Amino acid sequence: MELLFFIIVSSSFFNFPSLRASFYVKLKMKDLNNEKKLAAKEAVKYLKDNQVVGLGSGSSATHAILEIGELVKNGLKITGVSTSSKSEELAKSLGIPTVDISSVSSIDVTIDGADEFTSDLNLIKGGGAALLKEKVVASLTKEEIIIADSSKKVELLGKFTIPVEVIRYASKYVMSEIVLLGGKGEIRLTEGEPLLTEEGNYIIDADFGLIPDPAYLATRLSEIAGVVEHGLFIKLAARVIMGNNDSTITFS
């Protein structure tokens, strides 16, 4: 989608009464939603009959679940494992059979989204507050496929804050430990009250700036007492499929 802006800058802007300048600025605006759809369509090509499939959460994963629903409608036989109540509800509405995670020992393929990713397949996830179940499912998965629009690719993780799921009792302590690690944390709110995850925990959004060594930071966060899980996903993704204008690029 292209937008053409016509900007007229008055002479007073330049401090020269006789000068008026006109600028045409042509900006290329990417259709990020369409990029997510393209990535989802590419990702579902990896699905086969009789697989156990992890169903991610968030806007990108929603496109994948919709695509899976169409495949199931046309005869694909898979069993889904959801990462949130929202993805579970969507799957059921589309006729995708699902089971509780406790009934499977492994998951063949999971398709999920990310808030940020790098070319070496490290991720930040958890913007939708489903990071705990997403990481459990990813850890059980043989092939984790991440789908994303092109705005999610970064050179270094960290522009997006790291969600840290904590037990409520430890929230103040965890925030003080985040400061000692060089970051700053804020409890995520919804309608003025702390957001509660599906497991009844708080989310602390931790800002460390750009992160040169995400694996090290992931280890340090995991060592803090009271941290249930964090949104740094290190060496869990097998590939990232990124929509890019009218095509896709796969990182693996």
Mean pLDDT, consecutive 10-residue segments, the chain of 252 residues?
37 38 40 97 98 98 98 98 98 98 98 98 98 98 98 98 98 98 98 98 98 98 98 98 97 97
Every domain of the chain with CATH number 3.40.50.1360 lies at: 32-154+234-251
- Alpha-carbon distance of 218 to 236, in angstroms, equals 13
Q: Annotated catalytic residue: which of 42, 88, 134, 229?
A: 134
Query: How high is the pLDDT of residue 7?
Result: 35
DSSP assigned state of 182 = T
DSSP H or E segment with residue 13 = helix 11-14
* Helical H segments across 84-182, by residue range: 85-93, 131-140, 171-180
Residues near 44 by beta carbon (within 8 Å), at least 6 away in sequence: 64, 67, 68, 71, 111
Note the CATH number of domain 32-154+234-251: 3.40.50.1360
- Alpha-carbon distance of 191 to 221, in angstroms, equals 27
Q: Which CATH architecture has domain 162-227?
A: 2-Layer Sandwich (3.30)
Every domain of the chain with CATH number 3.30.70.260 lies at: 162-227
Query: How high is the pLDDT of residue 29?
Result: 56
For the question of residue 134 being annotated catalytic, the response is yes
